[in-house]
DNA sequence: GTGGTCTAGACCACG
DNA sequence: GTGGTCTAGACCACC
């Protein structure tokens, strides 16, 4: 998994890891039971202290998204799957709702807003395709 | 002006004030030259430390949105108006872009996403009308 | 508040603090909104590293029992009260249920078991009174 | 013998095995001289690391509850029987003492506590009978 | 003043 | 081998 860490962002590193990993799990991009990258390896890869990684994992464990198997490693919890489909829709819904609210507050008509939406959608899609090829 | 402060959110209080006040100014809901609520009064009203308010105002002054007139008080800067129309569009653009990105990541088609957008738009519009009447 | 810390118990220090503080809160021995002992002071008092205390508090905050007021300190969360009465009964119920199960497994009759219970109850009560006087 | 292993509980696996086996021996549910399940077989059955089983057995041997006969296997120690009646009472005593302490801390009167105890006792007894029939 | 974060390094428990 | 705990000390953000 690729982590985007911004050391100077104000947001603590452990929290950035939590957020990104949580998202991966809840959107189903990591399967149930899958092993999580080892604390020390990830620490070495991101060039941060192992405790920082450990802290992120510890909180996610408390959230019920990770499961510790003693002496073996950390895994995506089996419970996590239940929360997935809900979360996917919810994240999208929130973003779209926010966008609609902005449009209304800015007195932008539905048609205009949709047009802007389409532009962004197509732009992002073509970029993604470009990156893949 | 009404401020919504959430003491328990991760966002610092001074930042919540900044964001809300900046938004008011840039969306034209506060007119140029208008006087800003005094530090102590606002602090008393929101039951926060005056230094917190002062900090928020200081940053907005640095951004060029507020103007300090010594011995008188703080006012919405005259320059602020220029930035308004740009900002309006920008805020909307960001929200829509975010929504589009979510939709793509969730593998929701353009048509579907637009439909969800329309639902939210109409829902919010009708609620707003209801509240006004 | 008095903490009983056993450094050699196998149970991590931060967890001992969590358990004892959680119990205090959930059994209503700390009132809602009350300020929690400061991280550094408690650390000094128990002669442990401040981070250890901080860790305990952080987890309890995530459990929703503590509330952080930035720059001020940590407080017993307002939500905590709701869980109190339930918890009180639950803890007692569990202990008594466990005792009953033991008695049955040991083939100790109800009457005998109750007699042993009474002895312990009276013994503990008299000790407590002695300590108070 | 049936073992209930909870991989996700905080308690180490080897300790869970120790506790359950110790209990079986000390409550007389395993007779003196009886052979203990082989390390590898039990490990395979519980799907845990053989070292974990071995560790549990080693500790119980140290406690004097198991006896190693080289080249043959592990057996319930002959000394074990002597400790049985004492242990039975002790386990019960601890559980009841704990319950009494809880009741006092929760400010539940002796009469009330006893009533709760009776309910649990009768409930558990009737369930047990039901399961046997 | 408050608490939070991160580091480096040592040590422990578990399997 | 895995992850967890704790320390000491430095630095930061917030009020």
Give A27-37 pLDDT, tens digit per residue.
888 888 899 99
User: Residue D74 pairs with which residues in a beta bridge?
Assistant: D68
- Is the distance from CB of D13 to CB of D68 less than 8 angstroms? no
pLDDT confidence of residue A55: 96
User: Residue C69 pairs with which residues in a beta bridge?
Assistant: C73
Nucleotide nearest to A68 in CA–C1' terms: F3
Average pLDDT over residues D98-106: 91
Q: How far apart are CA D79 and CA D64, in angstroms?
A: 7
- Is the distance from CB of A17 to CB of A5 less than 8 angstroms? yes
B14 touches strand F (CB under 7 A): yes
| Residue of B12, B100, B118 to mutate, testing the A interface (most A Cβ within 10 Å of its Cβ) | B100
Higher per-residue confidence, B111 vs A82: B111
Q: How far apart are CA C116 and CA D92, in angstroms?
A: 9
pLDDT confidence of residue A97: 94
Band of residue B133 on the pLDDT scale cut at 50, 70, 90: low
CA of residue D54 to C1' of nucleotide F4, angstroms: 23
Q: How far apart are CA B95 and CA A106, in angstroms?
A: 12
- Cβ-based contacts under 8 A for chains A and D: 7
Q: How far apart are CA A28 and CA A85, in angstroms?
A: 8
Instruction: Dump pLDDT digits (tens) for B62-72.
Output: 888 899 988 88
Band of residue A116 on the pLDDT scale cut at 50, 70, 90: very high
Band of residue D10 on the pLDDT scale cut at 50, 70, 90: confident
Contacts of A101 in chain B (CB under 8 A): 95, 120, 124
A69/D12 touch (CB, cutoff 8 Å), yes or no: no
Average pLDDT over residues A73-102: 86
pLDDT confidence of residue B106: 85
Q: Tell me the shortest Cα–Cα distance from A5 to chain C, in angstroms.
A: 22
pLDDT confidence of residue A132: 66
Q: How far apart are CA A24 and CA A112, in angstroms?
A: 33
In D, what residues contact A, Cβ < 8 A? 7-8, 12-13, 49
A62 touches strand F (CB under 7 A): no
pLDDT confidence of residue C4: 92
A121/B104 touch (CB, cutoff 8 Å), yes or no: yes
Q: How far apart are CA C36 and CA C32, in angstroms?
A: 11
Of B50-59, C59-68, D24-33, the poorest mean pLDDT is in: D24-33
pLDDT confidence of residue D128: 74
Backbone φ, ψ for residue C106 (5° rounding): -85, 0
Q: Which of A115, C96, C45, D31 is nearest to B117 (CA)?
A: A115
A10 touches strand E (CB under 7 A): no
- Is the distance from CB of D90 to CB of C108 less than 8 angstroms? no
* % chain D with pLDDT above 70: 98
Flag whether D touches B (3+ CB pairs, 8 A cutoff): no
User: Residue B74 pairs with which residues in a beta bridge?
Assistant: B68
Q: Which of C99, C121, C128 is nearest to D94 (CA)?
A: C99
The distance of Cα B20 from the centroid of its chain, to the nearest Å, equals 4
Q: Is the pLDDT of residue A88 over 70?
A: yes
CA of residue D3 to C1' of nucleotide F13, angstroms: 51
Q: How far apart are CA B63 and CA B97, in angstroms?
A: 25
- Using CB atoms, pick whichever of A91, A106, A118 lies closest to residue B88: A106
Average pLDDT over residues C11-36: 90
Nearest CA in chain B to C72: B49
Contacts of A125 in chain B (CB under 8 A): 104
D56 touches strand E (CB under 7 A): no
Q: What is the mean pLDDT of chain B?
A: 87
Provide the greatest CA pair distance for chain A. 58
- Is the distance from CB of C117 to CB of D117 less than 8 angstroms? yes
pLDDT confidence of residue B120: 95
C51 touches strand F (CB under 7 A): yes
C103/D125 touch (CB, cutoff 8 Å), yes or no: no
Q: Is the pLDDT of residue B8 over 70?
A: yes
Beta strands, E only, D70-125: 73-76
C-alpha dist (Å) from residue D45 to B20, C17, D4, D5? 62, 38, 12, 11
Average pLDDT over residues B14-40: 88
Band of residue D132 on the pLDDT scale cut at 50, 70, 90: low
Whole-prediction pTM: 0.84
F strand bases under 7 Å from protein CB: 1-9, 13-15
Q: Is the pLDDT of residue D25 over 90?
A: no
C68/B13 touch (CB, cutoff 8 Å), yes or no: no
Instruction: Dump pLDDT digits (tens) for D28-51.
Output: 788 888 899 999 999 999 999 999
- Is the distance from CB of B33 to CB of B76 less than 8 angstroms? yes
The tokens for B92 are 């909307």
pLDDT confidence of residue A127: 86
pLDDT confidence of residue D80: 63
Nucleotide nearest to C10 in CA–C1' terms: E13
B104/A128 touch (CB, cutoff 8 Å), yes or no: yes
Band of residue C105 on the pLDDT scale cut at 50, 70, 90: confident
Average pLDDT over residues B14-25: 90
Which DSSP state fits D8?
A: T
């Amino acid at each position: 998994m690729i982590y985007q860490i911004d050391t100077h962002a104000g947001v603590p590193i452990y929290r950035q890891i939590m957020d990104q990993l949580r998202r991966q799990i809840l959107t189903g991009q990591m399967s149930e039971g899958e092993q999580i990258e080892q604390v020390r390896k990830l620490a070495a890869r991101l060039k941060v202290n192992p405790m920082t990684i450990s802290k992120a994992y510890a909180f996610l464990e408390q959230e019920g998204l990770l499961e510790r198997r003693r002496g073996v490693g950390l895994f995506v919890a089996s419970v996590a799957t239940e929360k997935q489909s809900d979360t996917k829709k919810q994240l999208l819904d929130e973003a779209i709702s926010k966008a609609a609210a902005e449009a209304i507050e800015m007195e932008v008509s539905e048609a205009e807003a949709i047009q802007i939406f389409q532009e962004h959608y197509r732009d992002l899609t073509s970029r993604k395709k470009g990156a893949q090829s």
